[in-house]
Every structure is written in C-alpha cells, then in structure tokens.
Amino acid sequence: MKDFLENNRSLWDGWTRLHEKSTFYDLDGIKAGKSSLKPVELEELGEVSGKSLLHLQCHFGIDTLSWARLGARVTGVDFSGEAVALARSLSAELGIPAEFICSNLYDLPRVLEGEFDIVFTSYGVLSWLPDLDGWAGIIAQYLKPGGAFYIVEFHPLVFMLGDDGQTLEYPYFHSPLPIKLRAQGSYAAPDADFTHTEYNWAHSLSDVINAVLRSGLRLQFVHEFPYSSCEWPPYLTQQEAGRTQVKGRQHDLPLMFSMRAIR
C-alpha cells in the first residue's frame, strides 16, 4: 500500500508543476482576488469567519486561501511536497495567514495536534484513499465537539464512466487492490508532455456514508446533484454558468454529492 501511495505522491508533485501554470486553476485570477470556491460549498458550509478550518487534501491551497479570505483560520494538508511549497509561497505572496502541512493523510496525527471547528475536503479526493474508515477516523479526531465536517465530491458514478461519458468501464464497489491507470498530462493540463502511473480506489456512496457514521459523527444531510461545479470530467458540457452536465442527459445522472456531519 505504501508503494501505491508513494507513486501517487510523485504523480501529484508532477501535476502541481503543471497546474501552477494552467488556466484550469487560474492563479492569476486568485492573485487578483478571485475565489476558487463554488456556490454549493459556500451555501452548504455557511459562515466560516472566526472559525478554525482544517482542509484535507488541499493540493496547492487555493481553496484553503479562499476560505481564509472569508475570515477562517486555516490549516491545509497535502502529501505532495511540491503542492505544499507552492501553497506556502502563495500564502506569503498574498499576505493571507495560513498554515500548510506536508503529510500523508493517515499519518497526520504524528505532525498535527489540536481540534478544529470545521474539517473540509472537496472535488476528487476520495479515489486516492485506500481506507475510508481510517479517513473518517482522522476527521472525527480533529473536530471539536459540535464541529462540522463537510465534503462536496464527484459522485461515484462519475468514476465508473469511460472517456465518452456513456460507457461503464470501472467498478462501483470497493476492492483493496487499486485500479491502475496511466495518466497522460492531467485533468487540468491534458495536452502536457507528462506521463505517470496512478492508482485509484472505488468507493460507493454507502461506503462514504457508513465510514462517517462509524467514526461517531452525526449525519446532517447527504445531497446528490445532476451537475458538476467543475469543468471535469472532460465529457461534460457547459449548460449554464458554473454547471456542467452530460450532453443530452441533463437531469438523470448524479454527478456530485455533498455531505455534512457534526461531532
């Protein structure tokens, strides 16, 4: 398992170098004051001003810094050294207070103490995790009593579909052995001259819900959405500002879900 995770860490180091320059992440816009946060998480997570927020799998921290701009006291965590170095550089350049920690999610208790009002994670995080019970336990450990966990994520169905958005190519249910893929470029820079092996794990929606419940958190809601807030996967087409859907199937496929739970 460590070999799979180390491979993926190397992948994300390479992707960070691509993503820093990509229009997908629009760092120029972020530096000019643009928020990277989407309407769904802003509405469902609510007021964060004055609250401590732990952002798991934060990549290079633009969502983390966007929460800080809204008044949260933020700590971002990612296992890519390249991503954390870039996040720290952006924090300093923009004058936005933030702490960034380089750590494998499962090893986080070795390097981070304390509890937070909010634990947040979003968009494309779960498929990189082999163990959801361990993930949910980390979340519960870092939440204050009464604190809120919030995730908005691509629906498991999305990860089953092939590049055409129509064909079922990948499993829905979890297996301990990961799905081995060959990354060409990245989701944010598909034409980049970069190739790397990646390992993903499938997790059903019930896997996610039950892991959170087993951690002792109390579920407040689970929502499913027939659109994506991101310009990914690539087979989606723009239907209206900030929403992409499968062309011709605007209402019958779940593309995202969100969940909120409290300790």
- What is the pLDDT tens value at each position of the chain, 263 positions in all? 889 999 999 999 999 999 999 999 999 999 999 999 999 999 999 999 999 999 999 999 999 999 999 999 999 999 999 999 999 999 999 999 999 999 999 999 999 999 999 999 999 999 999 999 999 999 999 999 999 999 999 999 999 988 777 788 999 999 999 999 999 999 999 999 999 999 999 999 999 999 999 999 999 999 999 888 987 777 777 667 677 877 666 567 899 999 999 99
What domains does the chain contain, in order, with CATH numbers? 2-262 (3.40.50.150)
Please provide residue 127's backbone torsions phi and psi, each rounded to the nearest 5 degrees: -70, -10
- What is the residue type of 99? E
Asked if 202 and 159 count as a contact pair (C-beta separation under 8 A), the reply is: yes
CA distance 29 to 40: 20
Nearest to 7 by CA among 178, 141, 236, 212: 178
Residues 228, 256 contacting (CB under 8 angstroms):
yes
Torsion of CA 115, 116, 118, 124, to 10 degrees: -70
Axis crossing angle, helix 205-214 with helix 132-142, rounded to the nearest 10 = 40
